């Protein structure tokens, strides 16, 4: 299997193209500065992962910005505080401020010359629009949880992706390489759908699972890269052969 076998790259955004863990930790500072509990970054991100995943299951039709408001409030109570409405709203709107990984814009610009580029993300369109500006690329299609009515790892999100790529572009599963960091949100359900996958292993030098829950089962990984830059380099190597 080679990267040049595919016609479309489908991307998770947050954790893969956008440094959501840095964004989350920065946006949680109003709480973290007030708590008297000693909380490591891993503890904070793990608590976020649990709270976010639970809320997405409970309210799958709710917009991501509103999900984040509830998550913020729940984390505050978990850590012995009460959050203000202003703080909750600010956290809910913080996605647009989360920074891109340094290699994301240039890698996407290169890959755009060779593939259709498609987003499959657990956000609402307004939140993604802010991130899209930072990524500096026009995606060929953007499919969000707001469009679908459920959140990854729900199988419906991947069924929506496969169906729309076939209807809108004429791609079947063999044309698609799903490219993502999260094993929990992306690689396990993508494997179940029969999609080929590329793991952008952004947390390779860190312990634990960060802002995602651990995968419930093992996923098949077809390509393993440490960064988007490494994926781009691998593609260049193939085309230079």
Nearest to 187 by CA among 166, 145, 226, 216: 216
Q: What are phi and psi of 141, to 5 degrees?
A: -155, 150
pLDDT for the residue numbered 26: 96
pTM: 0.94
Q: What is the pLDDT of residues 155-195, one digit of tens each?
A: 999 999 999 999 999 999 999 999 999 999 999 999 999 99
Q: Are 65 and 124 in contact (CB under 8 A)?
A: yes
Instruction: Check whether residue 65 and residue 80 sit in a common domain.
Output: yes
Catalytic residues: 12
If you ran DSSP here, which 8-state letter would residue 219 be given? P
- With both helix axes pointing from N to C terminus, report the angle between 85-92 and 64-78 in degrees, rounded to the nearest 10: 130
Q: What is the pLDDT of residue 241?
A: 56
Clarify whether residues 73 and 143 are in a common domain.
no
- Both 77 and 161 in one domain: the answer is no
| Domain boundary residue, one of 97, 112, 137 | 97
Residue with tokens 């793990």: 46
Among 208, 199, 186, 207, which Cα is nearest to 227's? 199
Boundary (domain end) residue, out of 58, 77, 97: 97
Percentage, residues of the chain above pLDDT 90? 92
Q: Are residues 230 and 196 in the same domain?
A: yes
Residue bearing tokens 């193209």: 17
Mean predicted confidence (pLDDT) in 109-116: 97
How much is the mean pLDDT over the chain? 95
The torsion angle over the Cα atoms of residues 16, 30, 151 and 211, rounded to 10 degrees, is: 50
pLDDT in tens, 197-239: 999 999 998 888 999 999 999 999 999 999 999 999 999 999 9
Both 34 and 72 in one domain: the answer is: yes
pLDDT (0 to 100) of residue 143: 98
Q: Residue 129: what pLDDT?
A: 95
Range of the domain at 113: 3-19+99-240
* Helix or strand (DSSP H, E) at 71: helix 64-78
Residues 27-34 have a mean pLDDT of: 92
């Amino acid at each position: 299997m080679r990267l040049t076998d595919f016609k479309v790259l489908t991307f998770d955004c947050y954790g893969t193209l956008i440094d959501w863990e840095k964004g989350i930790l920065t946006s949680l500072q109003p709480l973290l500065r007030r708590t008297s509990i000693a909380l490591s970054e891993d503890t904070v991100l793990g608590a976020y992962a649990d709270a976010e995943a639970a809320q997405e299951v409970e309210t799958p039709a709710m917009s991501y910005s509103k999900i984040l408001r509830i998550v913020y409030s729940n984390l505050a109570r978990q850590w012995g505080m009460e959050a203000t409405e202003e703080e909750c709203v600010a956290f809910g709107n913080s996605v647009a401020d989360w920074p891109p990984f340094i290699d994301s814009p240039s890698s996407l610009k290169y890959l755009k010359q060779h593939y259709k580029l498609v987003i499959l993300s657990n956000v609402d369109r307004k939140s993604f629009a802010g991130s899209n500006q930072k990524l500096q690329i026009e995606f060929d299609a953007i499919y969000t949880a707001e469009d679908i009515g459920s959140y990854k790892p729900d199988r419906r999100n991947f069924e929506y992706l496969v169906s729309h790529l076939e209807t809108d572009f004429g791609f079947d599963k063999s044309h698609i390489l799903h490219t993502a960091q999260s094993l929990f949100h992306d690689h396990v359900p993508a494997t179940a759908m029969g999609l080929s996958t590329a793991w952008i292993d952004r947390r390779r030098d860190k312990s634990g699972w960060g802002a995602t829950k651990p995968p419930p089962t093992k996923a098949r990984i077809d390509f393993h890269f440490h960064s988007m830059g490494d994926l781009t380099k691998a593609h260049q190597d193939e085309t230079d052969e």
